Chains A and B, each alone.
Chain A
Amino acid sequence: MNQFRGQSLSWQLKDGVVELALHREPCNEIGSIALEDLEKFAATLQALEDEAHTVIIYSELKSGFCAGADLRELYERSQQMEKQAAARGVRDFLERIHRVMNAIDASPLTTIAAVHGVTFGGGFELALTCDLIVADKMARFCFPEVRLGLIPGFGGIPRLKRDLGNAVVRDLLLTGRSFNATKAQQIGLVSQVVAEGEALRVARATAGQLGKFDRRTAAAAKKFIKPIPHEELQQEIGLFCELFMQPTVETGLRKFVESTDAQPYLP
Protein backbone atom coordinates (compact mmCIF):
# COMPACT_ATOMS: atom_id res chain seq x y z
CA MET A 1 0.00 0.00 0.00
CA ASN A 2 1.78 3.11 -1.22
CA GLN A 3 -0.72 5.54 0.17
CA PHE A 4 -3.25 5.75 2.97
CA ARG A 5 -5.61 8.33 4.38
CA GLY A 6 -6.93 7.76 7.88
CA GLN A 7 -8.78 9.90 10.38
CA SER A 8 -5.63 11.15 12.05
CA LEU A 9 -2.87 10.82 9.49
CA SER A 10 -2.06 9.95 5.94
CA TRP A 11 0.98 8.70 4.13
CA GLN A 12 2.22 8.31 0.60
CA LEU A 13 5.31 6.98 -1.08
CA LYS A 14 6.76 9.10 -3.83
CA ASP A 15 10.23 9.05 -5.37
CA GLY A 16 11.63 6.88 -2.59
CA VAL A 17 10.29 9.08 0.20
CA VAL A 18 7.45 8.11 2.51
CA GLU A 19 5.70 11.19 3.83
CA LEU A 20 3.61 10.65 6.94
CA ALA A 21 1.35 13.66 7.54
CA LEU A 22 -0.45 14.12 10.87
CA HIS A 23 -3.77 15.93 10.55
CA ARG A 24 -6.04 15.43 13.54
CA GLU A 25 -7.36 18.61 15.15
CA PRO A 26 -6.67 20.33 17.43
CA CYS A 27 -2.99 19.39 17.56
CA ASN A 28 -2.58 15.73 16.57
CA GLU A 29 -3.24 14.39 20.05
CA ILE A 30 -2.47 10.67 20.20
CA GLY A 31 -5.51 8.74 21.37
CA SER A 32 -7.10 5.49 20.23
CA ILE A 33 -7.82 6.71 16.68
CA ALA A 34 -4.30 8.00 16.10
CA LEU A 35 -2.87 4.84 17.64
CA GLU A 36 -4.81 2.65 15.21
CA ASP A 37 -3.62 4.72 12.27
CA LEU A 38 -0.04 4.66 13.54
CA GLU A 39 -0.24 0.88 13.91
CA LYS A 40 -1.34 0.63 10.29
CA PHE A 41 1.64 2.75 9.30
CA ALA A 42 4.05 0.64 11.39
CA ALA A 43 2.64 -2.55 9.85
CA THR A 44 3.21 -1.15 6.37
CA LEU A 45 6.64 0.30 7.01
CA GLN A 46 8.48 -2.95 6.35
CA ALA A 47 6.73 -3.40 3.02
CA LEU A 48 7.76 0.13 2.03
CA GLU A 49 11.42 -0.58 2.70
CA ASP A 50 11.99 -2.08 -0.75
CA GLU A 51 10.96 1.10 -2.52
CA ALA A 52 11.85 3.85 -0.07
CA HIS A 53 15.01 5.30 1.41
CA THR A 54 13.57 7.97 3.71
CA VAL A 55 10.53 8.64 5.88
CA ILE A 56 9.45 12.19 6.69
CA ILE A 57 6.97 12.75 9.51
CA TYR A 58 5.30 16.14 9.70
CA SER A 59 2.05 17.86 10.66
CA GLU A 60 -0.39 19.52 8.32
CA LEU A 61 -1.86 21.55 11.19
CA LYS A 62 -0.83 25.11 11.90
CA SER A 63 -0.93 24.54 15.66
CA GLY A 64 2.10 22.33 15.67
CA PHE A 65 3.63 18.92 15.20
CA CYS A 66 1.84 17.08 18.00
CA ALA A 67 0.66 17.99 21.50
CA GLY A 68 1.15 14.43 22.79
CA ALA A 69 -1.24 11.94 24.32
CA ASP A 70 -4.95 12.64 24.14
CA LEU A 71 -5.41 13.47 27.82
CA ARG A 72 -9.13 14.10 27.47
CA GLU A 73 -9.70 10.62 26.11
CA LEU A 74 -7.41 9.15 28.75
CA TYR A 75 -9.32 10.88 31.52
CA GLU A 76 -12.78 10.13 30.17
CA ARG A 77 -12.05 6.45 29.55
CA SER A 78 -10.45 6.01 32.94
CA GLN A 79 -13.56 7.51 34.54
CA GLN A 80 -15.77 4.96 32.83
CA MET A 81 -14.13 1.93 34.45
CA GLU A 82 -12.83 0.81 37.78
CA LYS A 83 -9.25 1.67 38.68
CA GLN A 84 -7.60 -1.69 37.93
CA ALA A 85 -9.34 -1.97 34.57
CA ALA A 86 -8.26 1.59 33.72
CA ALA A 87 -4.67 0.72 34.63
CA ARG A 88 -4.80 -2.36 32.38
CA GLY A 89 -6.17 -0.19 29.59
CA VAL A 90 -3.33 2.27 30.00
CA ARG A 91 -0.73 -0.50 29.97
CA ASP A 92 -2.26 -1.98 26.82
CA PHE A 93 -2.22 1.43 25.13
CA LEU A 94 1.42 1.97 26.13
CA GLU A 95 2.50 -1.48 24.92
CA ARG A 96 0.87 -0.77 21.57
CA ILE A 97 2.30 2.73 21.11
CA HIS A 98 5.74 1.44 22.12
CA ARG A 99 5.56 -1.17 19.36
CA VAL A 100 4.81 1.63 16.89
CA MET A 101 7.59 3.87 18.19
CA ASN A 102 10.07 0.98 18.18
CA ALA A 103 9.16 0.09 14.61
CA ILE A 104 9.86 3.66 13.46
CA ASP A 105 13.00 3.91 15.58
CA ALA A 106 14.40 0.62 14.26
CA SER A 107 13.43 1.12 10.64
CA PRO A 108 16.39 0.73 8.26
CA LEU A 109 15.03 3.72 6.38
CA THR A 110 16.35 7.12 7.39
CA THR A 111 13.64 8.94 9.31
CA ILE A 112 13.21 12.70 9.53
CA ALA A 113 10.80 14.56 11.80
CA ALA A 114 9.95 17.97 10.33
CA VAL A 115 8.51 19.81 13.30
CA HIS A 116 6.93 23.18 13.96
CA GLY A 117 4.96 24.72 16.79
CA VAL A 118 3.92 22.52 19.69
CA THR A 119 6.07 19.39 19.95
CA PHE A 120 5.04 18.21 23.38
CA GLY A 121 4.94 14.95 25.30
CA GLY A 122 4.08 12.08 22.98
CA GLY A 123 4.71 14.34 20.00
CA PHE A 124 8.21 14.99 21.26
CA GLU A 125 8.58 11.23 21.78
CA LEU A 126 7.50 10.56 18.20
CA ALA A 127 10.13 13.03 16.97
CA LEU A 128 12.74 11.31 19.15
CA THR A 129 12.21 8.04 17.27
CA CYS A 130 13.47 9.76 14.12
CA ASP A 131 17.09 9.88 13.02
CA LEU A 132 17.00 13.60 12.26
CA ILE A 133 14.85 16.44 13.50
CA VAL A 134 14.44 19.47 11.27
CA ALA A 135 12.80 22.22 13.29
CA ASP A 136 10.97 25.35 12.24
CA LYS A 137 12.38 28.19 14.34
CA MET A 138 8.95 28.50 16.00
CA ALA A 139 8.95 24.89 17.20
CA ARG A 140 8.67 24.38 20.95
CA PHE A 141 9.63 21.20 22.80
CA CYS A 142 8.37 20.08 26.19
CA PHE A 143 7.72 17.10 28.42
CA PRO A 144 4.86 18.48 30.54
CA GLU A 145 3.96 15.11 32.16
CA VAL A 146 5.46 16.11 35.51
CA ARG A 147 2.60 18.60 35.90
CA LEU A 148 0.22 15.66 36.06
CA GLY A 149 2.39 13.57 38.35
CA LEU A 150 3.52 11.41 35.45
CA ILE A 151 6.58 10.66 33.38
CA PRO A 152 6.67 10.41 29.59
CA GLY A 153 5.19 7.05 28.64
CA PHE A 154 5.77 6.63 24.91
CA GLY A 155 9.48 5.82 25.22
CA GLY A 156 10.73 9.35 25.73
CA ILE A 157 13.01 8.83 28.71
CA PRO A 158 15.16 6.00 27.31
CA ARG A 159 15.42 7.80 23.98
CA LEU A 160 16.37 11.08 25.64
CA LYS A 161 19.00 9.21 27.65
CA ARG A 162 20.30 7.62 24.48
CA ASP A 163 20.52 10.85 22.53
CA LEU A 164 21.23 13.68 24.99
CA GLY A 165 23.34 14.55 28.02
CA ASN A 166 21.95 13.55 31.38
CA ALA A 167 21.83 17.11 32.75
CA VAL A 168 19.60 18.18 29.88
CA VAL A 169 17.38 15.17 30.38
CA ARG A 170 16.96 16.05 34.06
CA ASP A 171 16.12 19.64 33.16
CA LEU A 172 13.46 18.54 30.70
CA LEU A 173 11.87 15.89 32.90
CA LEU A 174 12.08 17.52 36.31
CA THR A 175 11.06 21.08 35.42
CA GLY A 176 8.56 20.29 32.66
CA ARG A 177 9.59 23.52 30.98
CA SER A 178 9.50 24.04 27.26
CA PHE A 179 12.26 25.33 25.06
CA ASN A 180 12.62 26.63 21.55
CA ALA A 181 14.30 25.20 18.47
CA THR A 182 17.51 27.15 18.91
CA LYS A 183 17.99 25.71 22.39
CA ALA A 184 17.03 22.28 21.05
CA GLN A 185 19.78 22.54 18.49
CA GLN A 186 22.30 23.73 21.09
CA ILE A 187 21.72 20.63 23.19
CA GLY A 188 22.05 18.32 20.22
CA LEU A 189 18.43 17.36 19.76
CA VAL A 190 17.75 19.14 16.49
CA SER A 191 19.97 18.83 13.44
CA GLN A 192 18.70 21.87 11.53
CA VAL A 193 16.75 24.98 12.53
CA VAL A 194 15.01 26.65 9.62
CA ALA A 195 12.84 29.69 8.96
CA GLU A 196 9.12 29.65 9.64
CA GLY A 197 7.23 27.35 7.31
CA GLU A 198 10.38 25.82 5.86
CA ALA A 199 10.79 22.59 7.86
CA LEU A 200 9.02 20.30 5.41
CA ARG A 201 10.79 21.78 2.40
CA VAL A 202 14.18 21.35 4.07
CA ALA A 203 13.28 17.80 5.16
CA ARG A 204 12.39 17.01 1.55
CA ALA A 205 15.66 18.53 0.33
CA THR A 206 17.53 16.42 2.90
CA ALA A 207 15.64 13.33 1.75
CA GLY A 208 16.62 14.16 -1.83
CA GLN A 209 20.26 14.16 -0.82
CA LEU A 210 19.92 10.89 1.12
CA GLY A 211 18.37 9.28 -1.94
CA LYS A 212 21.71 9.63 -3.75
CA PHE A 213 23.40 7.20 -1.37
CA ASP A 214 23.26 3.43 -1.17
CA ARG A 215 20.65 2.98 1.51
CA ARG A 216 22.36 -0.16 2.86
CA THR A 217 25.02 2.20 4.24
CA ALA A 218 22.51 4.15 6.31
CA ALA A 219 20.83 0.95 7.49
CA ALA A 220 24.16 -0.49 8.63
CA ALA A 221 25.15 2.72 10.40
CA LYS A 222 21.81 2.94 12.18
CA LYS A 223 22.18 -0.53 13.67
CA PHE A 224 25.52 0.55 15.09
CA ILE A 225 24.69 4.07 16.35
CA LYS A 226 21.03 3.87 17.25
CA PRO A 227 20.39 0.97 19.61
CA ILE A 228 16.84 0.47 20.86
CA PRO A 229 16.93 0.54 24.68
CA HIS A 230 14.36 -2.28 25.03
CA GLU A 231 14.90 -2.96 28.74
CA GLU A 232 14.55 0.67 29.76
CA LEU A 233 11.52 1.09 27.54
CA GLN A 234 9.80 -1.72 29.43
CA GLN A 235 10.84 -0.14 32.74
CA GLU A 236 9.31 3.13 31.62
CA ILE A 237 5.96 1.45 30.92
CA GLY A 238 6.02 -0.11 34.39
CA LEU A 239 6.89 3.17 36.10
CA PHE A 240 4.24 5.06 34.18
CA CYS A 241 1.58 2.54 35.17
CA GLU A 242 2.62 2.72 38.83
CA LEU A 243 2.38 6.52 38.80
CA PHE A 244 -0.90 6.42 36.91
CA MET A 245 -2.50 4.65 39.90
CA GLN A 246 -1.73 7.59 42.19
CA PRO A 247 -4.73 9.79 43.11
CA THR A 248 -2.75 12.92 42.24
CA VAL A 249 -2.75 11.89 38.58
CA GLU A 250 -6.54 11.67 38.44
CA THR A 251 -6.73 15.07 40.09
CA GLY A 252 -4.22 16.52 37.64
CA LEU A 253 -6.00 15.05 34.63
CA ARG A 254 -9.36 16.34 35.83
CA LYS A 255 -7.90 19.77 36.37
CA PHE A 256 -6.46 19.77 32.85
CA VAL A 257 -9.64 18.50 31.19
CA GLU A 258 -11.96 20.83 33.08
CA SER A 259 -9.66 23.85 32.92
CA THR A 260 -10.95 27.03 31.39
CA ASP A 261 -7.60 28.64 32.14
CA ALA A 262 -6.13 30.46 29.16
CA GLN A 263 -2.78 28.87 29.84
CA PRO A 264 -3.23 25.07 30.11
CA TYR A 265 -0.22 24.57 27.86
CA LEU A 266 2.02 26.75 30.01
CA PRO A 267 3.66 24.57 32.64
Chain B
Amino acid sequence: MTKVMSTPDQTLNEILNLAATHFKVPREKLTPDDDFFKTLGIDSLQALDLLTRLEHHFHIELPDYELQGVSDFRTLAGRIQARL
Protein backbone atom coordinates (compact mmCIF):
# COMPACT_ATOMS: atom_id res chain seq x y z
CA MET B 1 0.00 0.00 0.00
CA THR B 2 1.39 3.39 -0.96
CA LYS B 3 1.14 6.08 1.65
CA VAL B 4 -0.22 9.30 0.19
CA MET B 5 1.67 12.34 1.42
CA SER B 6 -0.55 14.97 2.99
CA THR B 7 -0.29 18.46 1.60
CA PRO B 8 0.37 21.29 4.10
CA ASP B 9 -3.25 22.40 3.74
CA GLN B 10 -4.51 18.89 4.46
CA THR B 11 -2.27 18.65 7.52
CA LEU B 12 -3.50 22.00 8.80
CA ASN B 13 -7.10 21.01 8.22
CA GLU B 14 -6.66 17.71 10.05
CA ILE B 15 -5.12 19.53 13.04
CA LEU B 16 -8.03 21.98 13.16
CA ASN B 17 -10.55 19.15 12.92
CA LEU B 18 -8.84 17.16 15.66
CA ALA B 19 -8.56 20.18 17.97
CA ALA B 20 -12.20 21.13 17.41
CA THR B 21 -13.41 17.62 18.10
CA HIS B 22 -11.34 16.92 21.15
CA PHE B 23 -11.68 20.28 22.85
CA LYS B 24 -15.32 20.65 21.81
CA VAL B 25 -14.90 23.95 19.99
CA PRO B 26 -17.00 24.60 16.84
CA ARG B 27 -14.75 23.92 13.86
CA GLU B 28 -15.83 27.13 12.14
CA LYS B 29 -14.45 29.13 15.05
CA LEU B 30 -10.91 27.89 14.46
CA THR B 31 -8.63 29.60 11.95
CA PRO B 32 -5.02 28.74 11.03
CA ASP B 33 -3.50 31.78 12.70
CA ASP B 34 -5.37 31.46 15.99
CA ASP B 35 -3.39 31.21 19.20
CA PHE B 36 -4.52 27.72 20.14
CA PHE B 37 -3.91 28.28 23.86
CA LYS B 38 -6.44 31.11 23.78
CA THR B 39 -8.87 29.76 21.21
CA LEU B 40 -9.07 26.32 22.76
CA GLY B 41 -8.72 27.66 26.29
CA ILE B 42 -6.05 25.13 27.17
CA ASP B 43 -3.17 25.07 29.63
CA SER B 44 0.22 23.44 29.33
CA LEU B 45 -0.99 19.99 30.39
CA GLN B 46 -3.77 20.09 27.81
CA ALA B 47 -1.23 21.22 25.24
CA LEU B 48 0.74 18.07 25.98
CA ASP B 49 -2.47 16.12 25.52
CA LEU B 50 -2.95 17.79 22.13
CA LEU B 51 0.65 16.98 21.19
CA THR B 52 0.14 13.32 22.06
CA ARG B 53 -3.08 13.16 20.03
CA LEU B 54 -1.34 14.73 17.05
CA GLU B 55 1.54 12.26 17.29
CA HIS B 56 -0.90 9.37 17.27
CA HIS B 57 -3.00 10.85 14.48
CA PHE B 58 -0.09 11.52 12.14
CA HIS B 59 2.04 8.57 13.31
CA ILE B 60 4.97 10.82 14.04
CA GLU B 61 7.21 11.69 16.94
CA LEU B 62 7.32 15.41 17.68
CA PRO B 63 9.80 16.44 20.38
CA ASP B 64 8.21 19.07 22.56
CA TYR B 65 11.12 21.48 22.14
CA GLU B 66 10.01 21.79 18.52
CA LEU B 67 6.85 23.38 19.89
CA GLN B 68 8.61 25.90 22.08
CA GLY B 69 7.18 29.29 21.23
CA VAL B 70 4.65 27.77 18.83
CA SER B 71 1.11 28.84 19.60
CA ASP B 72 -0.70 29.07 16.26
CA PHE B 73 -2.12 26.20 14.20
CA ARG B 74 -0.31 27.16 10.99
CA THR B 75 3.17 26.98 12.53
CA LEU B 76 2.21 23.78 14.34
CA ALA B 77 1.13 22.30 11.00
CA GLY B 78 4.51 23.24 9.54
CA ARG B 79 6.36 21.43 12.31
CA ILE B 80 4.22 18.33 11.77
CA GLN B 81 4.52 18.49 7.99
CA ALA B 82 8.31 18.43 8.36
CA ARG B 83 8.05 15.00 9.96
CA LEU B 84 5.60 13.33 7.59
Contacts and interface: CB of A to CB of B under 8 A. Distances in A.
A117 interface: yes
B4 to A, nearest CB: 22
A118 interface: yes
B44 A265 contact: yes
B55 A180 contact: yes
Contact of B65 (A63, A177, A179, A183): A177
A180 B63 CA distance: 10
What band does the interface of chain A fall in when counting residues whose beta carbon is under 8 Å from B? 20 to 34
Contacts, number: 58
Interface in B5-34: none
Interface in A128-182: 137-138, 140, 142, 175-180, 182
A262 B67 contact: no
B37 A262 contact: yes
A64 interface: yes
Interface residues of B, number: 19
Nearest to B61: A183
Given A138-B49, A263-B68, A175 B44 contact: no
Interface in B26-84: 37, 43-45, 47-49, 51-53, 55-56, 61, 63-65, 67-68, 71
Nearest to A138: B52
Nearest to A120: B48
B61 A264 contact: no
Given A262-B37, A266-B68, A267-B65, A180 B52 contact: yes
A189 to B, nearest CB: 14
A267 to B, nearest CB: 6
A178 B48 contact: yes
Contacts of B55: 180, 182
Contacts of B67: 263, 266
A118 B56 contact: no
Given A175-B63, A178-B64, A266 B47 contact: yes
A64 B43 CA distance: 14
Nearest 5 interchain pairs by C-beta: A265-B44, A177-B63, A262-B37, A263-B44, A266-B64
Interface of B: 37, 43-45, 47-49, 51-53, 55-56, 61, 63-65, 67-68, 71
Given A182-B56, A265-B45, 17 more contacts: A63-B45, A117-B45, A118-B48, A137-B56, A177-B63, A178-B48, A179-B61, A180-B56, A180-B61, A262-B71, A263-B37, A263-B47, A263-B67, A265-B48, A266-B44, A266-B48, A266-B64
8 contacts: A63-B45, A117-B45, A118-B48, A263-B37, A264-B44, A265-B44, A266-B48, A266-B68
